[in-house]
Chain A
């Protein structure tokens, strides 16, 4: 799945998934990025979170190997997001190791609870890069709202006590932002390693609406019944969850956060929302007044939920 996250290749993703399984006491702990050409903010965040999780678990840092063979662009992106610090790879210079264009990735932030101040401080860092005029108070509020809402979703839903885990989780979220000054684009990302939207959806109060719609769609297009364990429909599940959350009213207050994630993009001149969860992906795109959305399901599982907003400013 991370291979589908912009600018990260399949091999890097597999290394990440392998890494999660290896990040246990008494196991070999290493990271080799020598075959990765480039890495964007979302993929860098997901990768860094794998190693940052060890800090929460009180375990020792992992080791990077063959760094001399890593692409300078990859090293610089990982340095910016803070992975080199996590791996205790020190650089004498604070200057960029290589020109990676005008994209600046902010250091990852992480916590186990809903901390509005973290989103506010990230906004402050963005404002340090983007001019006051471009990063308006309205845009700052939007970023704050969706990030804190996403933190709340993580804290409330992502790590249920009764879940069975293939690894030791930290019950945390990780977030970052990136600014591309040339293209005047702001990217904001939040990631968790929880059970995912497809797994949690049946606990929604309005799940019967989603289930009814899913069964109808799956029966019509695939000739089968939908089962939660069926990862090949995860993209459709996320899209359906979004649709039901947007259109359903009534006493249920579950799922009100999802429409808010999309509304952020709808208010902007142009931008996109990407939600990757388990094996599914949902994309919503807006350019000028034209809106479109689609869903995908991937062969490889992400292991959690990643939400990415990219907006033009």
Chain B
């Protein structure tokens, strides 16, 4: 498996936005719901998966905007995005087609790259 960071894919159709700072939390937490509020697992289950399923059943895509939060612990990012493959068994090809991860400022570009890498390197559990 390649470790190269996937480019944010070209996606088409109407966008469904998830602005994490506004729609979820400005202070993302850790990996699992059981360890505290605003976890990556909760984000994936409550927001990301429903939006992605909706996009996959239609013709749109999901645009996750990372900007505006205090930061992203790696465990949050891995659980939220890597968990799509590991736990929810989304196909990487499907995610390439319907998931866009946006960082409008340079500070958040690193997180965007990391989230993409977690999807690329995740394997089904």
Contacts and interface: CB of A to CB of B under 8 A. Distances in A.
A256 B74 contact: yes
A112 to B, nearest CB: 9
Interface residues of B, number: 28
Contacts of B107: 137-138, 141
A73 interface: no
B123 interface: yes
A142 B107 CA distance: 10
- Chain A interface residue bracket vs B: 20 to 34
A119 B75 contact: no
Interface stretch (B10-18, B36-44, B95-103): B36-44
A249 B78 contact: no
Given A120-B27, A249-B121, A115 B71 contact: no
Contacts of B122: 251, 253
Given A148-B28, A148-B29, A148-B30, A141 B35 contact: no
B74 A257 contact: yes
B70 interface: yes
Contact of B30 (A117, A137, A151, A260): A151
A256 B75 contact: yes
A2 B75 CA distance: 29
A221 to B, nearest CB: 32
A114 B25 CA distance: 14
A141 B67 CA distance: 12
A215 interface: no
A152 B122 CA distance: 20
Interface in B2-38: 3, 25-32, 35-38
A301 interface: no
Given A113-B36, A120-B27, A148 B121 contact: no
Interface in B26-64: 26-32, 35-39
Contacts of A249: 3, 121
B36 A140 contact: no
B29 A114 contact: yes
Given A119-B27, A120-B27, A249-B121, 16 more contacts: A114-B29, A115-B27, A115-B29, A115-B36, A116-B37, A116-B70, A119-B71, A140-B70, A141-B70, A148-B30, A149-B30, A149-B75, A151-B30, A155-B35, A253-B122, A260-B73
Nearest first, the 7 A-B pairs at minimum CB distance are A152-B30, A116-B27, A114-B36, A144-B71, A113-B36, A114-B30, A155-B35
